[in-house]
Amino acid sequence: MSGYLLIVNVGSTSIKSRLFTTDLQTDAALTADYGTAVGLAVEGRDIHGEPVEQYIAEAHDTSSALAVVLNQWRLMIAANSLPLAAIGHRIVHGAGWFDTVTPITANVLERLEQLDHYAPLHNPFNRLGVIIAAGFFPDVRQFALFDTAFHRSIPEYAGRYAIPSRLSEKVDFYRYGFHGISCRHSLSAAAELLACDPSGLNLIVLHLGGGASATAIRAGLSIDTSMGFSPTEGLMMAGRCGDLDPMIMLALQREGMTPEQLDDLLNHQSGLLGICGDTDMRSILQKAGQDDATAMLAIDMYCYRIKKYIGAYCAILGEVSALVFTGGIGEHAPLIRDKILTGLDRLGFVMDRQANLRQMSQNSDISDAGSRSRILVIHAEEERVCAQQILNFLDETSDHEPRG
């Protein structure tokens, strides 16, 4: 395949996008933050390595922010006469329908729309990225890459919920799992750091960002993960509650809360925000350093829940090759890593505290020499994984095309 690959990763408050060559070099990147009422900030670098900075002093929703970013790409690509071969989109939820790179058609978009209620903070925005990109680049092939695909290897006894099957004609209640693209990168990056084949690794991957998850990987395959039917289950997150007794929701419903209010409570008003009124771990750590009681409680709860999942996954994996920290908090919050790992030496995780405090510009091993399992910090590269998967897909399909 010749030409460039544009990867678009749309979140509920930000857009990340990168332009790759066929040898997976990043030639340009644009990031947009639109999740405030203040304005839209776009920054990155262009095809010549020059910085891009744009600020629009008015609030933008997802649609208008995407229009700004994709128009920037259209102008940059046209000005430099770049052949754009494909556009890839990270799609959070693919249910049981999609487990590989999928060329986007009208039928695929229609099926994806049916999954909006499965992941309401993500899938509608992901679909919007596809639709708006088609308007700017009508002749360019588009592909969907699914967070849920990596977790299709989870066995049924770990994926099923203990409720009757066929409860709904519209929804299949199952543990689909998320952050799969990030987990896939963590697996390959860990294999490179440890100089071994991915199929020989047992990993616990902690993707800690605004959303947070823990995943158990045995012999290179996902066998369990903390997020389930939706990204709301599992660890405590920025605004999501994580694991919760379901009877709490029934009690609140009986007190008069509507489904919409419950949805907002679970996904936007809970987690770190619900405990200490803040979602930014940097400021929460700063407040905790000033003896703010609610900030300290939020950190204690956050790290405690992660420790419980580490213990559970050690039990099901047996030997653990490495514990991986990735995502914004996992990569950049040494105090959180330290608090999570304190006391886990009995499970074989012993950290080099000096290594943990270093600024890490590349993937790093922060284990003590005597640690039975390695402790790795791996920078999330979801866009690169998407580009690699598209290249692999196009290479495989071209091999099967009839030759004249």
- Give me the active site residues, please: 147
C-alpha angle 166-228-202 in degrees, rounded to nearest 5: 125
The strand pairing partners of 365, in sequence order, are 376
Q: Which residue has the tokens 């999954």?
A: 115
State the burial class of residue 315 (Cβ atoms within 10 Å of its Cβ: 0-12, 13-18, 19+).
Answer: exposed
For residue 258, what are its two tokens?
């509507």
Q: Which residue has the tokens 């952050």?
A: 179
Report the DSSP pairing between strands 212-218 and 40-45: unpaired
The strand pairing partners of 375, in sequence order, are 323
For residue 252, what are its two tokens?
């609140």
Which among 389, 382, 286, 366 has a CA at the least distance from the CA of 328? Answer: 382
For residue 178, what are its two tokens?
């998320």
The strand pairing partners of 214, in sequence order, are 206
